[in-house]
Each structure stands twice: as C-alpha cells, then as structure tokens.
Amino acid sequence: MPNIGSVLKEEIVRLSRKESRSQVDPTKKATAQHRREIAELKRQVAQLERQVALLSRQTLGDPARVSTEPATQKVRFTAKGLSAQRGRLGLSADDFGKLVGVSAQSIYNWEQEKARPRPEQLLKLAGLRTMGKREARARLEQFSAAATAAKKS
C-alpha cells in the first residue's frame, strides 16, 4: 500500500509539470515564430543590399552608358591582346589612341601593363575588335577631316 506522502508528492510533481508545460509551450511557439521572421528579414536585407550595390555601381558610373547598355556586359582585357589587335590593324599607338579616344602614352601603358583602361574605354576597345584595316583607316580619316574643319572655323 502506497504511502500518502509519496502519492501526494507524485501528484504535486505531475501538476507542476503540467502547469510549467502550459506556460512554456506558448513561449516555445513564439520563439519559433520569431526565428522564422528573423530569417525572412535577413533574406530581405541581403536582397536589398544587393540591389543597393547594383544601383550604386550604376549611378556612380557614367549615367549615359548605364541607361543604354546592360550592366552585365563584361569585357576582358589583356595587354597582349591589345598589342596584337593594334598590330593586326597596322596602326601606330597614336592612331590607335585616336580611335579609342586616348593618348598614345595610354596605349603604351596599357600594353606594358602599367595601367588598365577604364570601363568606358574597354567598351570602345571591344568595339574595335570587329573592325578591319580599311574601316580603321576610314575612321582615322574622318577624325582628321573633322579636326581640320574645326580648326578652320
């Protein structure tokens, strides 16, 4: 026959567990909900940070270029490729610089890897890759004709 003290103790333990569970369960549920919300907010913050980075790159760059060309366009540059391209066109550094819109010294520095072209200059260099010798000479003649016309007026 069980002792009344042990029965009373078991009942008190049972009731205390039940009471503590009734108070802890809602807290566990609230904690789980908060963790889900925090994870979702972290995802939103990461997405917004990516958008801000993209927009800051676009607005800090050349606004005219950003609006007309896709931001994902990547142009590779190698000094060896630049000198090969200039040799293929048969142009001096001065003439090649006129096509790109820079000085002959810039062309030399790029070829010797002392400097790197800016993004807008990289786009011009990429445009010259498809150009042939005749077209390059024709453009140089256009530039010289425009320069002489500007000097006369």
- Tens place of pLDDT per residue across the chain (153 aa): 678 989 999 999 999 999 999 999 999 999 999 999 999 999 999 999 999 988 888 877 644 444 444 445 688 889 999 999 999 999 999 999 999 999 999 999 999 999 999 988 998 999 888 889 999 999 889 888 887 887 776
**Predicted local distance difference test score (pLDDT) of residue 68:** 47
For 33-53, letters b (16+ CB in 10 Å) and e give: eeeeeeeeeeeeeeeeeeeee
Q: What backbone torsions phi and psi does residue 59 show, to the nearest 5 degrees?
A: -80, -30
pLDDT score of 117? 93
Q: What is the pLDDT of residue 33?
A: 96
Instruction: Give 122: exposed, middle or buried? Use CB within 10 Å, 0-12, 13-18, 19+.
Output: middle
Task: Please give the pLDDT value at position 72.
Answer: 53
Classify residue 115 by its DSSP letter: S
Give Cα 144 distance to the centre of its chain: 38
